[in-house]
Each structure stands twice: as C-alpha cells, then as structure tokens.
Amino acid sequence: MAENAAKSAQGAGENIRVLLAKVGLDGHDRGVKVVARALRDAGMDVVYSGLHRTPEEVVAAAVQEDVDVLGVSILSGAHMTVFPRVMKALDEHDAEDIIVAGGGVIPDDDVARLTEMGVQKILLQDTPPDEIVNAFRQLVAERGPR
Amino acid sequence: MSERVPSDELARRVREGNLRAAARLITRVEAGEDECRPALAELYRHTGHAHVVGITGVPGCGKSTLVSQLARTLRADGRRVGIVAIDPSSPFSGGAILGDRIRMSDLVEDPGVFIRSMATRGALGGLAKASLDAVDILDAAGFDTILIETVGVGQDEVDIVQAAQSTVVVSAPGLGDDIQAIKAGVLEIADIHVVSKADRADANRTVMELKTMLTMSMPSGPDQWYTPVVATSSEKCTGFDELRDAIDRHRAHLIDSGELENKRSEIAANRMLKIAEGIVREDFRREREADLADVLGRVSRRETDPHAGAVELLAVVNSRIRHESTADPVQ
C-alpha cells in the first residue's frame, strides 16, 4: 500500500516550474500575462515577478523558487543589456541548470548573439502560446532530471 | 549544481544554511520524490527552533503585502525570515499562477529572507501538501521566523491553525457587517487579528466590530491569551511594530503557559493523520477506477442511492487493497 502511494506520488512530479519576469523600464505586461495563463492551462506552476525588476532580483527569485525555466519578457529593446546580466547572475548563484528563455521584440541579429550567450530559446512576439508551452516542455525534457 | 546532488547531501548543506540546497530540496519534496524522504526525516530532527506564524484571510485582503512589511520589520531586528506563500492550483489543468512574490519584490536580494511560492495542487484547507515540509527545511536552515501565507480563504479553510504556532487573521475594511464577524469559521482561529488597509476611512469600524466580537468570548484568568486587534497600513507603513510585538507576546505566552509543547504535538499529530489520509485517498483513487463505472451507472439509474453506492465502492476497493498487500507485499 505504501509502495503504491509512493509510486503514484512520483507520477505527480511532472509539474514544471517557471518564473516569468519583466525587467527594467518596460511596462508592457499583457503578453507575459497571456503566456502565464497558457502555461498554467498546460499544468505548469508559474511564478510571476511583477514589473520593473532588476536582472539580479529576477535571478535571486528564480534560485529561491528553484524553477526549471526562467522566462524573461522584454519589449523595451533593452535585451542586450538585460540578458548578459541575467546570465552573469545565474553563474554567480551556481545556477546554470536553470534554463533561460527570452520573449518579446528582438531583432534577428540579436537572437543569434543571445543564443551564443546561453539563452536557450528566444520566442518572438508572434509566437503562438501553444508553441511556447511545447518549447518549455521540450527544453525541460532535454535537460533531464536534476 | 549541474549534476544531481543526492538529497542527504542537500540536507547536510541545508543545515549549514545553504539556500540553494534548501530550494532544491523543497522542489523534490513538492514533486513527491521518494529519494528525499530519508533526508527530510533527518532534517525533521533538527527542527523546532523557528517560530512558525500563519497569515490567513480572504482573497485580496492584503496578506502578501502584509507579509512583506512584517518581514521587513522582523529583518530590522536582525531576525532571519522564511516565507512560504501558497496560491491555488487550477482545478482543471493542475497549473497555477503564483503571484504573491509581486508584493514582496524588495525583499528578494536580502540573504536573510527566503521566499518560496507553492501551489495547492488539489489540497483543500488553505495549505499545500508539502507546505510543512518546506517549513521544516527552512527551520533546519536556521530561519528564526517562518511566515506561512495561506491561499485566500473563504469561511472555513482553517488548516493553518493546525500548522502554525501563531495564527494571524487579516481582515480588510468594508467586507461585511458585524454579523459576518460573529459567524463561525476563520475569524475564530485568530491568535491575532489584523485589520489591513487602516488608512481607509471605514477601517475603525472593522476594528470595533472585531473587538466587539471578541468581548463575547472573553477568556477569564490572568494566564489567558487576549486576542489583540492590530490595525496596519502598508501604504503608510504603520502598525507593523505593533504586529511584531503582538506576535512576540503570543510566543512568550505559549512558552510561559506551557502551551507551546501542546501546540507542537497537536501540529505533529494533525500532520501525520493528514498524510495517512492522503495515502488512503490516493490508494482509493487508483483502485476505484475499474469499479466506478458499474456503481456509478446504478446510482445514476437510481437503482442504488449515492450513500449505498459509496459504501459498496469502499468495500470493493478495501478488499482489493488488503488482498494486494498480503499477496504481494514487496513490489
């Protein structure tokens, strides 16, 4: 009986944890809320940071929440300033196992540079919500258990 | 931490105050991983240092903001504060949006504060299944005060009182008259009442109504606890020193009266029973599926009534579980 309960409890461990963050002077949060809702509807636990965070705050929160994916939404054009600081802060927390994804309005050239920097997925502003759900699931599956 | 660290090693790091290890161990216990149970059992022996305070109240009454301000007040005294903030899971998808952190943003970079959001994942009563495991982990990591923020409760989700040593019930002004205040339920469980948003004009009335309610059940005798009503305003940053003092007085009262030990054993007993119920419920859920259709069909055709159907279902499931555990004890 106990073994059975334990087994089924293991099956419950599929919940993916995500922190969605808005960083800097960027008040456009409609998109991030739509994404939060889509991830929630896909069964994920989504922590939302609220507006106007610093990269360091966002990473500290991601570490405490021990999320699988840190998703940073940027529509202000400051991505080339924000993401290097996010990656540096993750490194300082010894938290490179947290997957970083970026979303918003980002030019193609910058996408390549961000990918090089270690941002594992960039989802541009026209990405359908289902695609974001699938991308997150795939990223977590590829990383494997930790 | 790129390679998987065994949970007993994480537990060792937790006891050294390593918060990254604490965060990971909470994830594992929340996911129901078997591998972390012995580590949790070991950590449990090193708990009991922290004062565990529950904060509860209806949705939107200001719990998260209050927790944030209270944590800042406790930090000013140099106390380390752990926060477990619980939000509801969707009953449909199982997912959750955890927004309590939004109100706690200025605490994030303080190493003396640790905030963890949790989803209820189907648990009723205002807490999540792993909430108290998370509290144990933070306790063992050396936090002095641990604040548990429940989901926004209705009128009778009172599990927090079986989990925290001091329970703070938050009421916002303007949410009902004095009859609401004498109804049974959440208001009865308070060790401390808080009226939030005290900068509002009608806050005084809420304070008076709560005080009037309390006079109806006034304790007698010098050793009794008199439930205080504290008015706080997060906007004007007032009332939080009083709230901290009220919490400290309640803890002193628990210790002086010897009630703390009773409360601790009550919390432990309730917790154990709840886990046992969870195991039974889970077994039942799994075992009943095959039998459900037959009984359900007869109940919906009105050949059997729901009560008799439930009894029948239980009998079938129980005999199967018993049969399984004798026939196949090791799986």
- Per residue in B63-105, pLDDT (tens digit) is 999 999 999 999 999 999 999 999 888 877 888 888 888 888 7
Question: How much is the pLDDT for B98?
Answer: 87
Q: Inspect the interface and report whether the beta carbons of A48 and B102 lie closer than 8 Å.
A: yes
Q: Which position has the token pair 């209270």?
A: B70
Say if residues B26 and B136 touch (Cβ distance below 8 Å): no
Say if residues A110 and A80 touch (Cβ distance below 8 Å): yes
Most confident of A35-44, B277-286, B320-329: A35-44
Q: Inspect the interface and report whether the beta carbons of B23 and A63 lie closer than 8 Å.
A: yes
Rg (C-alpha) for chain B, rounded Å, is 22
What secondary structure letter does DSSP report for B124?
Answer: -
Chain A residues 67-96 with a CB less than 8 Å from chain B: 93-96
> Could you tell me the residue ranges of all domains in chain B?
1-46, 48-257, 270-327
Alpha-carbon gap, residue B179 to B291, rounded angstroms: 46
Interface test with B, best of A66, A96, A133, A143 (most B CBs within 10 A): A66
Q: Inspect the interface and report whether the beta carbons of B105 and A57 lie closer than 8 Å.
A: yes
Task: Give contacts of B114 with chain A, Cβ < 8 Å.
Answer: 64
Point out the residue among B30, B98, B103 whose CB comes nearest to the CB of A46.
B98
Alpha-carbon gap, residue B14 to B311, rounded angstroms: 46
Q: Inspect the interface and report whether the beta carbons of A37 and B33 lie closer than 8 Å.
A: no
* Alpha carbon A135 to its chain's center: 11
Alpha-carbon gap, residue A98 to A63, rounded angstroms: 8
Task: Give contacts of A3 with chain B, Cβ < 8 Å.
Answer: 330-331
Task: Pick the closest to residue B8 from B35, B33, B27 (CA basis).
Answer: B35
Alpha-carbon gap, residue A16 to B31, rounded angstroms: 10
Interface test with A, best of B1, B65, B68, B326 (most A CBs within 10 A): B1
Alpha-carbon gap, residue A40 to B40, rounded angstroms: 29
Phi-psi region of B221 (alpha: psi -120 to 50; beta: other; left: phi over 0): left
How many helices and strands, by DSSP H and E, does chain B display?
Answer: 10, 8
- Nearest C-alpha of chain A: how many angstroms from B103? 8
ipTM, 2 decimals?
0.82
Q: What sections of B58-202 are H helices per DSSP?
A: 63-76, 131-140, 178-182
Pairing mode, if any, of strands A121-124 and B113-119?
unpaired
Averaged pLDDT for residues B274-289: 79
Take residue B247 and report the two structure tokens written for it: 């919490």
Amino acid identity at A10: Q
Question: How much is the pLDDT for A9?
Answer: 34
Please state at what angle helix B259-300 crosses helix A2-11, rounded to 10 degrees.
80
Q: Which position has the token pair 């927790």?
A: B67
pLDDT in tens, B185-222: 677 788 999 999 999 988 998 898 888 888 887 666 66
Q: Inspect the interface and report whether the beta carbons of A50 and B102 lie closer than 8 Å.
A: yes
Per-residue pLDDT of chain A (146 residues; tens, 9 = 90+): 333 333 333 333 368 999 999 998 888 888 889 999 999 999 999 999 888 899 999 999 999 999 999 999 988 888 889 999 999 999 999 898 999 999 889 998 999 999 999 999 999 988 999 999 999 999 999 998 88
Q: pLDDT > 90: what percent of chain B?
A: 48
* Cβ-based contacts under 8 A for chains A and B: 127
Amino acid identity at B317: V
Take residue B195 and report the two structure tokens written for it: 């009226």
User: The domain B48-257 is classified under which CATH number: 3.40.50.300, 3.40.190.10, 3.30.1340.30, 3.40.50.970?
Assistant: 3.40.50.300
Name, in order, each residue with C-beta under 8 angstroms of B187's C-beta and a sequence gap of 6 or more.
B169, B171, B181, B193, B210, B213
Pairing mode, if any, of strands A99-104 and A69-74?
parallel
Question: How much is the pLDDT for B241?
Answer: 97
Alpha-carbon gap, residue B142 to B39, rounded angstroms: 16
Determine phi and psi for A22, rounding to 5 degrees.
-115, 130
Alpha-carbon gap, residue A62 to A93, rounded angstroms: 10
Question: How much is the pLDDT for B155?
Answer: 63
Mean of per-residue pLDDT scores for chain B: 86
Interface test with A, best of B117, B143, B328 (most A CBs within 10 A): B117
Say if residues B163 and B52 touch (Cβ distance below 8 Å): yes
- Nearest C-alpha of chain B: how many angstroms from A121? 19
Name, in order, each residue with C-beta under 8 angstroms of B171's C-beta and a sequence gap of 6 or more.
B57, B58, B61, B187, B193, B194, B195, B196, B206, B210
Chain A residues 17-36 with a CB less than 8 Å from chain B: 17, 36
Q: Inspect the interface and report whether the beta carbons of A13 and B32 lie closer than 8 Å.
A: yes
> Could you tell me the residue ranges of all domains in chain A?
16-67+77-101
Question: How much is the pLDDT for B120?
Answer: 86
Question: How much is the pLDDT for A1?
Answer: 36
Question: How much is the pLDDT for B325?
Answer: 61
Interface test with A, best of B20, B108, B116, B121 (most A CBs within 10 A): B108
Point out the residue among A3, A41, A95 whose CB comes nearest to the CB of B95.
A41
Task: Pick the closest to residue A67 from A17, A21, A27, A120 (CA basis).
Answer: A17
Helix (H) or strand (E) holding B167: strand B166-171
Averaged pLDDT for residues B240-248: 97
Take residue B81 and report the two structure tokens written for it: 């504060």
With CA atoms as reference, the chain A residue closest to B28 would be A13
What homologous superfamily is domain A16-67+77-101 in, according to CATH?
Cobalamin-binding domain (3.40.50.280)
With CA atoms as reference, the chain A residue closest to B119 would be A45
- Nearest C-alpha of chain A: how many angstroms from B243? 26
With cut-offs at 50, 70 and 90, classify the pLDDT of residue B329. Answer: very low
Paired with B86 in beta bridges are: B118
Alpha-carbon gap, residue B200 to B212, rounded angstroms: 20
Alpha-carbon gap, residue B251 to B245, rounded angstroms: 10
With CA atoms as reference, the chain A residue closest to B86 would be A47
Alpha-carbon gap, residue A34 to B197, rounded angstroms: 30
- Nearest C-alpha of chain B: how many angstroms from A22? 11
Amino acid identity at A27: G
Q: Inspect the interface and report whether the beta carbons of A44 and B19 lie closer than 8 Å.
A: no
pTM value? 0.86
∠ CA(A25), CA(A28), CA(A29), 5° rounding?
115
Task: Give contacts of A94 with chain B, Cβ < 8 Å.
Answer: 1, 20
pLDDT in tens, B170-184: 988 887 655 565 565
The more confidently predicted of residues B120 and B140 is B140
